[in-house]
Structure 1
Amino acid sequence: MSSALPTSGTTIVQELPFKWKVQGAIFIIGGLGFMFDAWDVTLNGALIPLVAEEWGLDRPTAALLGTSNLVGMALGAFLWGGIADRFGRKNAFSLTLLMFAVFTVLGALSPNFGFFVAFRFLAGVGLGGCIPVDYALVGEFTPAKLRGRVLTAMDGWWPVGAALSFFVSGWVMATADNWRLILAVMILPALMVFLIRRNVPESPLYLAAKGRETEARAVIDQLVERTGAPVRDYVIEQPTAERPARWWEQVVALGRYSWKITATSWLLFVTVLLVYYLALTWLPSILTEAGMAQSASFFATAVMALMGLVGVVLAALLVERVGRKWLLAISAPLSGIVLILVALNLQIPSAAVGWVLVFGVIVQVAIPVLYAYVSELYPTELRASGFGWASTMSRFAAGFGPLLFAALWPVVGLPALFTGATILVIIAMIFMAKFAPETKGQELG
C-alpha cells in the first residue's frame, strides 16, 4: 500500500483561489511599476524632437537620448534580475523605482545634452529592473490556472503608461512649452508607488527555493488565511541548487538549463520588441515629417498606445485557449506587416493614422503573450534572471536599433526598414516553433 506524496508549499500557493485583495493587490502594485517603464520608454519618442530643437541636434545625435535610456534599461534588467534572484523579489521590487525617481529629477535639471543623456541612462538602469522583477513576483503569487491571463493582463499597464506619456507631453508642450516639466510630472507618483511597494510580502516560492522555510511558511499560511482556502498540510521542499551571483554565471546557468530555451527567449525579445520600440521612438517624428503638427503627432501616437488596451484584452481572452506559441506566432509578424503599411501610406495622413491605430492593437496582443511565455520557460531559481537577460538583449537591440534606423532612413526608406525588422520577427517565430515548448496550463517549477 503506497502513500501519496506530501503536497509542496509551491503547489499550495499555485492552487489558491484568486482574490483581488490578495493576489490582485500585488498585480496592481506590480503593474504600476510596469506602467512607469512604459511611460519612460515612450517618453524618448516625445523628447527626441524637443531636445533636438532646443540644443540644435541632428537626428542621429538626438537618437543617442533613446539609446542611452534603453541601454541603461538593458543593464538594469539583468542587474536587478540577478539581485531579485539572489536577495529577494521584495527588495528589488521597490528600489528599482527609487533609483528611477532620483535620476529623473536630475534629468529634468540637466544644463546640457551630455548631462541629460547620462541621467537618462542612470534612470534607465533603475527602471530596467521593473519588468523582470515585477513579472517574477506577480507570476509567483498567481494561481497556476490563471497565471497566463494575469501575466498577459499585466501588459495592460503598458499602453496606459505609453498613452499617458504622449498625452502629458502634448498637453505640457501645448500649455507650458517646457519639456523639463514632462519629466517632473512622473516623479511624485513614482515615489508614491515606491513607498507602497515596501509593504508587499516576499515571494513564498523564492523563500522556499532559498531554503528559508520559516519565512516561506509564514507567507503561505497568511495567503491561505486571506484567500479563505482550506488548510492543508504541506512540506517546503529543500532547494536543489543555489542561484549563481555573477553575471557570467547567470548566463552559463541559463545555457546549462537549456540553450534552446535561452536562445529562443532572446530572439523573441529582440525581434518583437525592436519593432515596437522603433515605432514608439520614431512615429512622432515620422508623422511630423509627413506634415502633421508636432502636438497632433504626440496625440496620434498616444491614441495608438491606448488602443493597445484592446490588444491586451484580446490576448488575455485568447492566451489560455489558443496557447502562447500560436498566438505569438500570428500576432508578432502581423504587427510588423501593419507597420510596413503605415510607411507606405504616409502620403495619405488619414490612412497612415488608421494603420497606426491597428498596429497599436495587434502589437499589444503579441507583447503580453511574449512576457507571459518567457516568464514561464524557466524554473523559480532562474526565472527573474532568465527573463531579465532576455529583456536585456531586447533593450540593447532597441537602444542601438534607432541609431541604425536614423542613419538608414534617408538611404533605403521607411518601408524597407520596417520590412527588414518584420523578417527578423519571422525568423524568431520559426526558431520558437522548433525549439521551445508550449507552457499553457503548466505549473511553475
Structure 2
Amino acid sequence: MSSAPLPSGTSIVQELPFKWKVQGTIFIIGGLGFMFDAWDVTLNGALIPLVAEQWGLDRPTAALLGTSNLVGMALGAFLWGGIADRYGRKNAFSLTLLMFSLFTILGALSPNFGFFVAFRFLAGVGLGGCIPVDYALVGEFTPSKLRGRVLTAMDGWWPVGAALSFFVSGWVMATADNWRLILAVMILPAFMVYLVRRSMPESPLFLAAKGRDAEARAVIDQLVERTGADKRDYVIEPVQLPKAPRWWEQVASLWKYSWKITATSWLLFMTILLVYYLALTWLPSILTEAGMAQSTSFFATAVMALMGLVGVVIAALLVERVGRKWLLAISAPISGIVLIVVAQNLQVPATAIAWVLVFGVVVQVAIPVLYAYVSELYPTELRASGFGWASTMSRFAAGFGPLLFAALWPVVGLGWLFAGATVLVLLAVLFMSRFAPETRGMRLD
C-alpha cells in the first residue's frame, strides 16, 4: 500500500494559521506602502489648484501635473511588477519607496512648473510599483481561506492615505500657506517605511518558482515555527522557468495565458479607477467653483476619502460570502451613478457633500474587491506582472482622463462627463460577467 504524497511547500504556507505577529506584520508593512500610494495620488487634487494659482496656469495646463504623476505610476507599475517577478518581491518592495522619497524631495524644491511636472513623474515611477508588489507579496503569505478578506482589507489603507493627504493639505494651507510643505510632510514617514521593509522575508512561492529550494525551506520553516503550526514534511516543487521576458514578451505572455482574463483585468482597472481618480483629482476644484472655500473643499474631500473605510469594511465582510464578481457588478456602476447625482446637486452644497460621502463609501466597496480579484486571476509567475499591467493601464486612463475632463467640462457639463465614465464601467462589468471566472475560495498556484 503506497503512502500519500507529501504536500508542497506552497500549500503549507497557504494552510498556516493567521497570526498578527507573522502574516499580520506583513499586511501592515505592505499596507503602509499602499497608504503612501493613495496619499500621493490624492495629492494631485490638492496641488492642481494651488500651483495653478502660483504660476498662473489654466485648467488644462494644470491638469498636466496629475497626468505626469499617474503616467509615471503607470510605467512604474509594470516596471516594478516585472522586477518583482524576476528578482524578488522583497527587493522591489523596498526600492519603490526609496525612489519615491528622493524625487518627492526634489519636487518640493522645484523652481518652476516644468521641473515640478518632471519630478512628479519620476516620483510616480517609484511609487507606481507599490500596489502590484504589495499585493503579490501579501497574497502569497496569506492563508488561502483568508486571502480574499485580507487582500480586500488591504484597501483600507487607501482611504487612510487619501484622507491624510487632504487633511494635511488643508492644515498646511490654513496655517503656513505653502504648498511645498505639503510634499515635505510625507517624505520622512515614507523613508521610515522603506527602512522597515528591508527586514521583510522573501516570498517562499517566489523562491520555489525560482528553484531556490534551500531559501524557500528556510522561510517556510520559520513561518511554521512562528505561527505555531504542526511541523510536517513537504516538498519544494521543481519548476522549469523560461528566461526572464522583456516587457513586450511579458505582455504577450499575459494575453497568451488567457486573453479573457487579461482583457477583463485591464477593462475593470481602467474604468473603475478612472471614475475614482476623476473624483479625487477634480472634486476640490468642483467644490471650490461651487462656492466653497478652498481649505473647506480639501477637508470635505478628506472626509469623503475617510468614509471609504466603511466601504472597505463592507467589502471585507461580503467578499467571501457574495463573491468577487457580484460585488464588483453592483458597487462599481453605483459609484459612477452617485457622481452624476453629485453633479446635479452642486447648487445645494449640503446635499452635494452628502452624496460625495456616499460616493466615498460605495467606490471603496468596489476597489478593494477589484484588487483582490485581479491578483487571484493569474498564477504565481505572472501574478505581479499581471496585476502590474492592469494597474498600468488604469494609470494611463486616469492620467489622460483628467486632461480630457478639463477640456470637456465647460462644453458638456459635469453630469454628462460622469455619465460617460459610468457607461464605460457598465461595459467592463458586462465583459467580466461573460468571460472571467469567480475566484472565491480558489487556491493560488
Which of the five TM-score ranges fits, normalised by the shorter chain?
over 0.9
1:180 equivalent to 2:180? Answer: yes
Alignment of 1:46-445 (within 5 A): 46-242=46-242, 244-445=244-445
State the distance in 2 between where 1:318 and 1:243 align. Answer: 40
Give the match's secondary structure for 2:20: coil
State the distance in 1 between where 2:252 and 2:413 align. Answer: 40
Q: CA deviation at 1:4?
A: 2.4
Q: CA deviation at 1:243?
A: 6.2
1:39 equivalent to 2:39? Answer: yes
1:129-167 per-residue CA deviation (whole Å, 9 max, x = no partner) reads 000000000000000000000000000000000000000
Change (3 A) 1:10 1:158: same
One-letter identity of the residue aligned with 1:15? E
State the distance in 1 between where 2:240 and 2:212 align. Answer: 13
State the distance in 2 between where 1:202 and 1:329 align. Answer: 35
1:247-269 per-residue CA deviation (whole Å, 9 max, x = no partner) reads 00111110111011000000000
Aligned residues: 445
8 Å Cα contact 1:155-1:368 kept in structure 2: yes
State the distance in 2 between where 1:323 and 1:130 align. Answer: 25
1:204-263 per-residue CA deviation (whole Å, 9 max, x = no partner) reads 000001111000000000000000000011000011433633100111110111011000
1:25 equivalent to 2:30? Answer: no
State the distance in 2 between where 1:422 and 1:2 align. Answer: 58
1:70-121 per-residue CA deviation (whole Å, 9 max, x = no partner) reads 0000000000000000000000000000000000000000000000000000
Q: CA deviation at 1:185?
A: 0.1
One-letter identity of the residue aligned with 2:430? I
State the distance in 2 between where 1:46 and 1:277 align. Answer: 13
State the distance in 2 between where 1:318 and 1:160 align. Answer: 21
Change (3 A) 1:163 1:85: same
8 Å Cα contact 1:309-1:364 kept in structure 2: yes
1:10-34 per-residue CA deviation (whole Å, 9 max, x = no partner) reads 1000000000000000000000000
State the distance in 1 between where 2:167 and 2:388 align. Answer: 29
One-letter identity of the residue aligned with 1:211? G
Unaligned runs of 5+ in 1: none
C-alpha RMSD of matched pairs (Å): 0.7
Give the match's secondary structure for 1:230: coil
State the distance in 1 between where 2:28 and 2:153 align. Answer: 10
8 Å Cα contact 1:39-1:161 kept in structure 2: yes
State the distance in 1 between where 2:350 and 2:295 align. Answer: 16
State the distance in 2 between where 1:440 and 1:242 align. Answer: 30
Give the match's secondary structure for 1:439: coil
8 Å Cα contact 1:244-1:253 kept in structure 2: no
Change (3 A) 1:433 1:240: farther
State the distance in 2 between where 1:384 and 1:396 align. Answer: 18
State the distance in 1 between where 2:404 and 2:252 align. Answer: 30
Instruction: Please report the TM-score for the alignment, with normalisation by the length of structure 1.
Output: 0.99
List structure 1 segments (4+ residues) > 6 angstroms apart after TM superposition: none
State the distance in 2 between where 1:233 and 1:5 align. Answer: 10
8 Å Cα contact 1:210-1:242 kept in structure 2: no
State the distance in 2 between where 1:348 and 1:4 align. Answer: 69
307-316 vs 245-254, which deviates more?
Answer: 245-254
One-letter identity of the residue aligned with 1:266? W
One-letter identity of the residue aligned with 1:92? A
Give the match's secondary structure for 1:22: helix
State the distance in 2 between where 1:83 and 1:219 align. Answer: 21
Give the match's secondary structure for 2:119: helix
* Residue in 1 that maps onto 2:12: 12
Q: CA deviation at 1:2?
A: 4.8
State the distance in 1 between where 2:120 and 2:161 align. Answer: 18
Give the match's secondary structure for 1:21: helix
